[in-house]
Chain A
Amino acid sequence: MPVDLTTSYLGLELRNPLIASASPLSNTIAGVRQLAAAGVGAIVLYSLFEEQVRQEAAENAARAEAGTESFAESLSYFPAAADADADPGPRRYLSLLERAAAAVDIPVIASLNAVTAGGWTGYAAALEQAGAAAIELNIYHPLGEPLLTGRDVEQRHIDIVTSVKAAVGVPVAVKLHPYFSSIAEMAQRLDEAGADGLVLFNRFLQPDIDAETLTVSAGFGLSSPAEARLPRAWIALLSGRVRASLAATTGVDDAGDVARYLLAGADAVMTASALLRRGPMYAGALLDGLAGWMSRKGFGTLAQVRGLLAMPAGADGSARERAGYVTALRAANVGNGQW
């Protein structure tokens, strides 16, 4: 039986719910084209980091200036343009975005991580200008601010969403981390602030310690399916309770993981790890697997699947029904591959 995989995310019509999330795969146009050819419904480009842009500008300037005006034969070492271009701002990212948007017929979503108020709004406007179908705000506060209160952290999120929404016309999604005291409340506040979508959850770079070399190392690896449970639980809870679209990210490795997120209530499912591990063409396998499963289960459209196992509306107050949901969730989580 043919199945209809189309879905709506952030008000964008997607040909299917699989979104390639930010990863090195989308660093080049060739990579973007490959992802689109593999069948994904949309692409989120890697994040534009304001801090990185500024640091690079300073470093470029320092490099271009090193050794100049010292020796009569070599008063400079670079064409004047290299110095003049030392701070191109986000030019490189915008160029990629602009070309990516033109190169593929699926939505290309830009991801932004800024540090200043002006950075958030200015860069967001530039991203819109360059053709972003939507903007995903990659908000996190670094570990370096230990005295910031929880409420301040939350308010910072709200302020950013409010200001970016005021600055751009394209949809805005927020990729949030799972460490709020009350995620549901936070989600609802973001929803009220105008976020068009929530992406659950962001994974932080968490420094690791190497006991052998006695050094601190960058602790970052690809996600595993076990990590999907946390976002899935929250999506199941938020489904139907916020206006914003819900996107799941983390822990997608096979089509079953996609299906489970959809059943929990996700409008779209993002993956980077699976595509990095197995290559961009694996997106096709995920989609084939999803369609096969729907067909086997007799689902004709995604709407029939989405939120099927979300926490039912009105269940919030009822311990009994919540317990029932937990049972259902547990049921969905066992028997990997037996669906």
Chain B
Amino acid sequence: MRATVDGNEAAVSVAYRLNEVCCIFPITPSSPMAELADEWSSRKRPNLWGTVPTVVEMQSEGGAAGALHGALQGGALATTFTASQGLLLMIPNMYKIAGELTSAVMHVAARSVAAQGLSIFGDHSDVMAVRQTGFALLASASVQEAHDLALVAQAATLATRVPFVHFFDGFRTSHELNTIDMLADDDLRALVPTELIRAHRARSMSPDQPFIRGTSQNPDTYFQGRETVNRFYAPVPDEVQQAMDALAARTGRAYRIVEYAGHPDADRVIVSMGSAAQTVAETVRHLCARGERVGAVHVRLFRPFPAEALLAAIPPTAARIAVLDRTKEPGSAGEPLFLDVTAALADAVTGGERDLLPLVCGGRYGLSSKELTPAMVAGIFAELGRERPRRRFTIGITDDVSGTSLPYEPSLDIEPAGTVRAVFFGLGSDGTVGANKNTIKILAAEAGMHAQGYFVYDSKKSGSQTVSHLRFGPQEIRAPYLIEQASFVGCHHGGILESIDVLGRAAPGATLLLNSAEPADQVWDALPRPVQEKIIAKGIALWAVNASQIAREAGLAGRINTVLQTCFFAISGVLPRDEAIASIKSAISSTYARRGADVVRRNHAAVDHALAGLHQIEVPGQVTSARMPPPAIPAHAPEFVRTVTGAMLAGRGDELPVSVLPADGTYPSGTAAYEKRNISDLVAEWDPQMCIQCGNCSFVCPHSVIRSTYYDESLLSGAPPTFRSAPLDARGLPDTMFTLQVYAEDCTGCELCVQACPVAAPGDPDRKAINLTDRTAVVEAERQNVAFFETLPVADRSRVDFGTVRGTQFLQPLFEFSGACAGCGETPYLKLLSQLFGDRLLIANATGCSSIYGGNLPTTPWTTNAEGRGPAWSNSLFEDNAEFGLGLRLAADQHGNLARERLTQLGEHIGAGLVNELLTAPQSREAELRSQRERVQELKRRLGDLQDLGQPVADLRSVVDHLVRRSVWLVGGDGWAYDIGSGGLDHVLSTGRDVNVLVLDTEVYSNTGGQSSKATPLGAIAKFAAAGKTMPKKDLALQAIAYGYVYVARVAMGADPQQTLRAFREAEAYDGPSLIIAYSHCIAHGIDMRDGLGQQYRAVASGYWPLIRYDPVLRTAGQNPFLLDSPRPRISLASYRRGELRFRSLANSDPQEFERLGLLAQQAVDQRWDTYEEMASRAPATFPADARKAREET
């Protein structure tokens, strides 16, 4: 059976059928394997032997590996799916599983490992880090192989008892759609004999045949014991080959563990592994046809290293060999595959089995999904042909520092003429990718037709751009790289033409389909000059359609995909037009049937109207436009931002040479401010007459686009005509004006500000003091207004009332314009954090949404104030954030101590008065902190005069800023705090150190696409809990309260912003560990994001999310430390849950279970409320006392 699937589905469709237990944890890009397994299990799909596999989500990959180990020892056929850091967390168990000769296969979508920066994209850094564990490593190079070799691995592990990692390239293979032949159950049965399964079972732990395994061994026998396994490893290559041969006998698809393709007497050979091997082999075919003597060695089995097969594969004529590694091992003699190939050849020559030792060169390529194209492969062969080729090289980048990179001629195109190549530029929200997936399915359904789809996404979660690469044709498509020479280019959003070189990927004579709002006769003139130039130069045929209008008229506002898909088929002629239209309609019917007849009808109407609106635009012989696209980065930006960040924004990051990139991953703060994205058609607009200046709108703004300030009226003299202001509503400040400025170009139109505004026009409840308006009408004026606004004075922090929502909104946010989802529920908390404590803030940020919108290049939101101070931010890992943050605290404490010691030591030289003040002045209020900063300034000045005193002064100067109290915050989501980082968080809280923990609780792994965590509530559906979660959410607050000396708060900004503010300030002021659990509404809840604050309100009003504070200071003062801040529940839990698909969905799929869990959830809410009420009314002495000694002045 043929099917068009991606690599993840290809692999898991075999793995699921061949296993009894799946132990899982989400990590990109392997998550879809785990999600599909969970989904199938919850739908009771059986495995090969008629039982439904058990799928268990663990708290981390370490946990998954432990459970896997246990399941295997229990005799089950068990597997896991992972990547990158996840695989690294499995290493300890991998040694155990292999050491005990346990049959198992782990499926890995190979991905980069975080080093100078995290990357979710594909390379072999992770799998190369487990090559020493004793696992066999089997690499698939394509979607078809990911399917076939999943079976081969299972067959081989059972035959040899050596466990396998079966891996394929993350994203390039895991996410590539391709047409493959599916293996039938009988194929699986044929390769996986039941007697081997029973033998595996017979080796399991059983009290009926007891033994002991996992002993502790001593110097006398450990070594010998380690050598016992050799005889199991030796036959693995042959066993794998036999399994491949058995597969070939059944399917006709023949694989070799090491496969040679090319000239039989090749003089130059490239050795590679993974998807690149396809590119190398195809390029070799192309070059051989042109008379070159070149060859490709494709390594599929990497461990146990098949030296014999490798030597057999390399022609004896090969004098020059390049070995390509998709990993980087700094400081090594070479990367792993290179070293192994070299050693095998040297062994063979020194052992007399081979005459000639070729020159072997090692090259790195493709890190983090960097392309390896046929042109690059040709470049490597060219290098091998030089008299003295580079012995170590890189390909695909420009390394102008170490000079490792090879040159190549980029224009080489080896793809068969019959393959149609099309590239589509769209927005994430417009459905382009979905339509293209449908197109692939339509075309792949044609007899003899092969199709491939690969999709490139943006670094931002809101307003993101997508690029779809589609190939289809009569031949199997073996091209695992992006399309460079497209015959068809679709530009689904006019704005993309302004920012990206859309026609850079167009072949000469290609067709460009443009979604344009202009009338057909004005389309050409509206194009920017460089686009016109390229159209003429490349002889491009231009077509245009007003897809937005057609979609709107069909009732599909914003979903332009159907219109453009129809036009693509009409213009490209890949299918006869009528047949194509019928196929599109039929695909629409099946895709949208579940959305109801109305949606199907509207899409059918869009198809019908698309062709009438499609026009070919006449291209004149010369350029008529003078308009240049606006620069991505303004001219006043720092040079690094203009040159490096700017290139990344323009899609030219691949061209940046090594020399311009920071060597240690350190980047400047605040670059998001330079990127004006203009992603929303609607933006906020302030009405100064109606406004009561409460600050609520800017408090909740997730994107920091609403700023307020007050200033002397006289400053308005130079204001632009549209600049808005109103008299400041405050006593004692006459002639003072107030302005609420909207940064229109950065606004996402999320509408939270409108929802938060308490003022409504009489008779028009929809009209607030802040409203949404058409961006295009105001953007030019607002750009000038923002420029003027930024010349106004920033409020003096020491005069701002930190105790009120309104007051805090005069504080400058030092977190702005992040790429989070429009209306994000997390970012308002971070913005508040930055306003309150930003200039002395150290942030440890767990991996997750907040580390992505907080730190994903090109531009980042954490920024600085006019003094150059601001949050110092870093992301270590997912699992270690609490520990990482504690480390920051320890260092700050240590250096604070050092500063105070040196200060004391140098007291007589510095001046006793200043020293005494520096050591003893309070630093809790902002005015006090300001004073301390001034003292430190004075100290620095005096130290400048004391340099003769030598070391102590130098010491003090190096740590002097620590005399201002630093605020250390550990930020992360529930996946971190409740699951993978739970142990670390618990321990850090237990240390009693002054760290502040902010848990942005979305109750789900948002960043990896909505998998269940221990914070997911009872009755919610999520990935990994597709049948509805039957466990309640963990009460993290009560856990922390149990320590007695931890400040704990549960907050929900949308329900009570003032309580949120109070909690943040108390937590920061508390000299000990603090934990704030913040309700963060999320797109993964399936809510109308405009109503995120409403859902927060209902969560609290229903008693689901009681607002609490536990303040140990009160306990010490003889008061009840447990404060229940929200009123008794006044609406039912159901009325909160009704608004969220995560709850509603279960009502659709399993009404009975929905009802059952709904009742239990309501009971749980009632019970917890009773518990909290009881706690809030207890005598103070019933809570544990803080046993820590009064803390020294440290």
Contacts and interface: CB of A to CB of B under 8 A. Distances in A.
Contacts of A69: 428, 431-434, 455, 457, 466
Contact of A86 (B461, B595, B1008): B595
A67 interface: yes
Given A85-B1148, A99-B1152, A78 B598 contact: no
B1144 A60 contact: yes
A92 B120 CA distance: 40
A91 B821 CA distance: 33
A78 B1086 contact: yes
B596 A61 contact: yes
Contact of A54 (B461, B598, B765): B598
Contacts of B1142: 78
A321 B35 CA distance: 77
B1149 A81 contact: yes
A74 B1026 contact: no
B1151 A63 contact: no
A74 B849 CA distance: 10
Given A70-B458, A71-B461, A72-B28, A63 B596 contact: no
B278 interface: no
B1145 A60 contact: yes
Contact of A87 (B28, B29, B596, B1152): B596
Interface in B35-88: 35, 38-39, 42-43
A71 B1148 contact: no
Interface string B1118-1150: 000000000000000000000001101101110
A71 B459 CA distance: 7
B118 to A, nearest CB: 11
Contact of A67 (B434, B461, B466, B763): B461
Contact of B1087 (A57, A63, A74, A92): A63
B1021 interface: yes
Contacts of B43: 81
Nearest to B1010: A77
Interface string A53-90: 01011101101101111111111111111111111100
A179 B1087 CA distance: 39
Interface string B1022-1033: 110010000000
Contact of A81 (B427, B433, B1026): B1026
A57 B595 contact: yes
B1006 interface: yes
Contact of A73 (B39, B431, B596, B1009): B1009
Interface residues of A, number: 42
B589 interface: no
Nearest to A99: B1152
A37 interface: no
A65 to B, nearest CB: 8
A80 B1022 CA distance: 10
B1079 interface: no
B514 to A, nearest CB: 21
B650 interface: no
Contact of A70 (B120, B457, B593, B1084): B457
B120 A72 contact: yes
A76 B1026 CA distance: 14
Interface string A84-111: 1111100110011001000000000000
Contacts of A30: 1155, 1159
B429 interface: yes
A155 interface: no
Contact of B1009 (A28, A54, A66, A76): A76
A71 B594 contact: no
Contacts of B38: 79
A73 B1007 contact: yes
Interface in A125-177: none
A82 B1145 contact: yes
A58 B593 CA distance: 11
B397 to A, nearest CB: 21
Contacts of A215: 765
B852 interface: yes
Size category of the binding interface on chain B: 35 or more
Most chain A C-beta atoms within 10 Å of own C-beta, residue among B466, B595, B599, B1144: B595
B151 interface: no
Given A71-B428, A72-B171, A74-B1008, A85 B1083 contact: no
Contacts of A68: 428, 434
A64 B1141 contact: yes
A67 B1084 CA distance: 9
Interface in B592-618: 592-599
Contact of B596 (A54, A75, A76, A95): A54
A99 to B, nearest CB: 6
A96 B1155 CA distance: 9
Interface string B258-288: 0000000000000000000000000000000
A186 interface: no
A334 interface: no
Contacts of B1088: 63
A267 B1141 CA distance: 43
Given A58-B596, A69-B433, A85 B1009 contact: no
Contacts of A96: 1151, 1155
Interface string B1087-1126: 1110000000000000000000000000000000000000
B1089 to A, nearest CB: 7
A72 B428 CA distance: 10
A30 B593 CA distance: 33
B1147 A92 contact: yes
Given A58-B595, A63-B1141, A73-B1009, A28 B1026 contact: no
B762 interface: yes
B1141 A74 contact: no
B1007 A91 contact: no
A281 interface: no
A63 B457 contact: no
Given A28-B1155, A60-B1141, A214-B763, A81 B39 contact: yes
A82 B852 contact: no
A5 interface: no
B655 to A, nearest CB: 21
Nearest to B43: A81
B1123 to A, nearest CB: 32
A29 interface: yes
A23 to B, nearest CB: 15
Given A72-B171, A73-B120, A85-B1145, A66 B1010 contact: no
Contact of A75 (B121, B432, B593, B1009): B1009
Contact of B1021 (A78, A213, A214): A78
A58 B466 contact: no
Interface in B170-214: 171, 175
B972 to A, nearest CB: 16
Interface in B1146-1182: 1147-1149, 1151-1152, 1154-1155, 1158-1159
Contacts of B771: none
The 7 closest A-B pairs by CB, nearest first: A70-B428, A61-B595, A95-B1151, A74-B1009, A79-B1026, A88-B1148, A69-B433
28 contacts: A29-B1152, A58-B599, A60-B1141, A61-B596, A63-B1088, A68-B434, A70-B466, A71-B428, A73-B1008, A74-B461, A74-B1006, A74-B1010, A74-B1084, A77-B1010, A77-B1084, A78-B1021, A79-B1022, A79-B1026, A81-B42, A82-B1021, A82-B1026, A85-B594, A85-B1148, A85-B1149, A86-B594, A88-B1149, A95-B1151, A214-B765
Given A63-B1086, A72-B175, A74-B1084, 4 more contacts: A58-B598, A69-B431, A74-B1009, A87-B594
Interface of B: 28-29, 35, 38-39, 42-43, 120-121, 171, 175, 427-429, 431-434, 455, 457-458, 460-461, 464, 466, 592-599, 762-763, 765, 821, 852, 1006-1010, 1021-1023, 1026, 1083-1084, 1086-1089, 1141-1142, 1144-1145, 1147-1149, 1151-1152, 1154-1155, 1158-1159
